[in-house]
Structure 1
Amino acid sequence: MGNVWLVSALWLGLALIASIVSIRVAISVALIEIMVGAVAGNTIGLTLTEWVNFLAGFGAILLTFLAGTEIDPQVVRRHFRSSMSIGAVGFLAPYLGVLLYARYLLGWPWPQAQIAGISLSTTSVAVVYAVMVETGFNKTEIGKIILAACFVNDLGTVLALGIVFAHYDLWLALFGALTAVALALLPRFAPWFFKAVGHRVSEPETKFVALVLLGLGGMATLAGSEAVLPAYLVGMALAPSFLADPELPHRMRIIAFTILTPFYFLKAGSLVDFTAVAAAAGLIVVLLVVKLATKFVGILPLTRAFRFEPREGMYTTLLMSTGLTFGTISALFGLTNGILDRAQYTILVTAVIGSAVVPTLIAQRWFQPAFQPIRAEIPPGAKAALDRPASS
């Protein structure tokens, strides 16, 4: 189909169908979009043009950035040990489990086994954040803890992919230096800029954020990395500004969830080849089970140790077991660099997408905890005034 407008109508029509189905069955629209994309990709075919890939990629970048803006520094400080521990173990347990399984039981060479371990070590920021926003849990303490743990988990994935496979050259050094400078300057410059331009119809704030994300994303690509990688860090750097002005992230979420993220999730689903999946269904299920089992063995005991409510512990473990953005990026990295063949890529991507759907579906359907907004911090002076008996 060469008509760009009809192609656009097809993709947005599928996104609309996914939204309606999501409302009717009370399941996250991100998961429904993945399923709709898989069915459409294997029946009517979905055209992955350059502009579709751009919109899908920008959707992943913006969604990852918005997830970073939800990291509340006060909540992270209050739950630093739990977020760090859950995130670190959430990466290490499946990475080592899948790596050893692929190397010694499947007989894959070390490079392929390492890509398998990295691909299935992730927690999907895109899926988790989409679920959090849809359910309102991004405004709760448990939601903030999960998002912070997601960051730590995926930071481990990014570092592993970078350390094992990065090209150590001047481009990588320049990318690292520019990212460090941007992260140092943004918390100071952005609040001043946002205040100076104000809320305008022309959306200068949104354009500024997009400029930073696309600029750093372009440098990441030149360095042989992925454009989505700096987005989370930029989001964390701008988190105080976004938390102070809830209207700004609300406007950016409208842009993301209306026109960008549907392309990302539909594209992710369309990459699943039902024929190849049927041929390797057993291995895909086994890899998915290995990932979920190692996540549970690593994370669930930690939720008990940090005194999460049982329902919150299971919900956290299930959401930390998801995978999509960095998992597919890692698998695609292996394919494009000749580390994986097409069959191995299909197996890993399908297992990754399965990990986006299965644990999230179970978490939402049976283990969603009670909604508890973040407790407001009461200044010491105000607390003392409240504690004083009322005068007669």
Structure 2
Amino acid sequence: MKLVVQIKLLPTPEQAAALEATLRAVNEAAARVSAVAFEHFGLRASERELRKLCYGELRAQGFGAQAAQHIIKRVVDAYTALRGGIRSGRLGGPQSKRRCKAESKPIGFRPDAAHIYDDRCLSWQIDARTVSIWTIKGRVKRVRFTGSANQLKQLAEYRKGESDLVFRDGMWFLVATLEVPDPEPFEPADWIGVDRGVVNLATTSDGDNHQGRRLDRYRRRQARKRAELQAKKSRSARQLLKKRARREARHATHVNHRTAKRVVAVAARTGRGIALEDLSGIRGRVTVPRDQRARLSGWPFHQLGEFIAYKARRMGVPVLQVDAHYTSQTCPIPWCGHVARANRPDRDTFRCRRCGFAGPADVVAGINVRNRARSAWVFVNMPDPAPT
């Protein structure tokens, strides 16, 4: 399993100046290479052909061999990601303004965008808690770093691959790639069904409820502030909008990490697997009122599922995805199983119209997810029929 660990650098003023000059120089060079790529290849930049055009110029400008290679690779990767976004429809249809704008000009690079380092440009001294790093002003040695005991242990045992130099909010970080071996998943004694939603981020079949009301209030407050800033239409307002967007994303990510950690911890402690609803394409299947569309489309359903999956994988907890249709409208009693929209008279309540079973709607949905996982697991592990 590939993971990343974020290590905070503690450079001296002279070292920080060298790092800042390096980021500025490599991103300016990447912007020039991007312009060449767009002029000669459009959006289909080839690393081999682009190297023929730009490698010599980059070397003449004082960049090392590896730095020049990484600049060219960053540009090619950026155009590859743009083509993938266009193919998937994330930039809209062929006539959308966003897609036309992206296709009409070269990809730009922010002056402080992250830059890639491999082991030829960056060396770690874990025991001394220092790094030696290439800069445009030469090799800078003994740059101090800090991190938690767990981060440093993982860095020493599992670091493998490239690291990114990141400058954010006045601080320097190295984001290192780890190759952590996967533990063998255990045989689950049972399953925990998890229902994901807006009001309740995650509700399990055990009745544990991880509410999303505080996050919802936070996002509504941020939306009001965002509307006020958008109305000003000034440069400083646009800068504040970007800063607020990053802060809101970090907050939602923190809440999802915390929720996923709790769910996985219960599953690992009780020897059970985790069953999730397959919510692929939910935004296309669900019809919501106009005033709630932004609320639904901006909700991090997928992120929470990804966090649960990767945390479970690290703990050896099996994860199973099941069909999400009608989980909150189906009676969980095995001999009943009645499905009807009327079984859910309001958002929070489930009441079966046939047998009278009642309970919290999200808990009932979690129980149905668990029951479907039980059936799916039995079917998957069914022995092959004997040959005739």
TM-score by length of 1: 0.21
TM-score by length of 2: 0.22
Identify the structure with the greater strand proportion. 2
Identify the structure with the greater helix proportion. 1
Whichever of the two has the greater Rg, that structure is 2
